[in-house]
Amino acid sequence: MKTKIFSSLLVLCISILGTSCTSDMEYKDVNVTSVQQLYTPKDNVGIELQASATASVFFEWASALAEDGISPQYEVLFDKVGGDFSKPVYSQTSDDMGLRSYATISHKTLDKVAQLAGFGSGEKGSLVWTVRSSRGVVQQRATVVRTLTVTRLLGFTEIPAQLFITGEGSEGGTDVSKALAFASPASGEFTIFTKLEAGKKYHFVSGKDTEARVFYTESGKLKESSTGDGAATVSETVYTELISTSTSLPLLWPRW
């Protein structure tokens, strides 16, 4: 009899422990507040982006609060003017793996953001930005939004591994598989001696596939196309040398 009672009590205890464990292990979402203030950069600030690896912009905002007292994580969101951030063009976690209420964002990253927003190389345009706070799966977007105006970099923001010339004005014509390759004597330097036909368009590509980046010259400056369009022409048929010696200044020019 005692054995039966002991066994029953043991089963009951195990059952209670199991229920308690399940209750303790139950996950609950932790609420987090939205950011109420954006400190810097100020609204409608204009920034001319620089190619320097150390050039950056400091973003800072008021801290959010999490229900469990643990610091929330943050992301800076960028979108086109008029966008609602439901599908931001770019996001970056804040400093210290998202734990800080500030973010140091490089000029080169902002140039990439502007490109994703549809601004051409060297163009000036406006973006909107805000901050998203999160704690686990719960996310809250800031109640405030600011506008940032940037002037994109000229030339190669990211140096391509290869460069080719193509288009009806080039020797290879419009068939990109026949595009002529530039020589690259050093990193960021490209050179080619080639024929250009008068009045016919030509441009430059980073590869011979549909994913290749497209570049063109305008007023002696190299620009990267955000749409895949853009081309240059010459006024007379020439054999010329095209040279790139920089990643941010006017890059390619003919030498007769």
Evaluate whether 64 touches 35 at the Cβ level (below 8 Å): yes
Burial of 25 (0-12, 13-18, 19+ CB in 10 A): exposed
Report the Cα 43 to chain-centroid distance in Å.
Answer: 21
Among residues 77, 146, 157, 145, the alpha carbon closest in space to that of 117 is found at 77
Among residues 100, 44, 51, the alpha carbon closest in space to that of 75 is found at 100
Q: For every one of its 256 residues, what pLDDT tens digit does the chain have, with 9 covering 90 and above?
A: 444 444 444 444 444 444 434 445 555 678 999 999 999 999 999 999 987 778 999 999 999 999 888 899 999 999 999 999 999 999 999 999 999 999 999 998 999 999 899 888 788 999 999 999 999 889 999 999 999 999 998 777 677 889 999 999 999 999 999 999 999 887 778 888 899 999 999 999 999 988 898 888 887 777 888 777 888 888 888 888 887 755 443 444 455 4
Please name the residue that has the structure tokens 């305008």: 218
Other CB atoms within a 10 A radius of the CB of residue 87 amount to 7
Q: Name the helix (H) or strand (E) containing 23.
A: helix 2-25
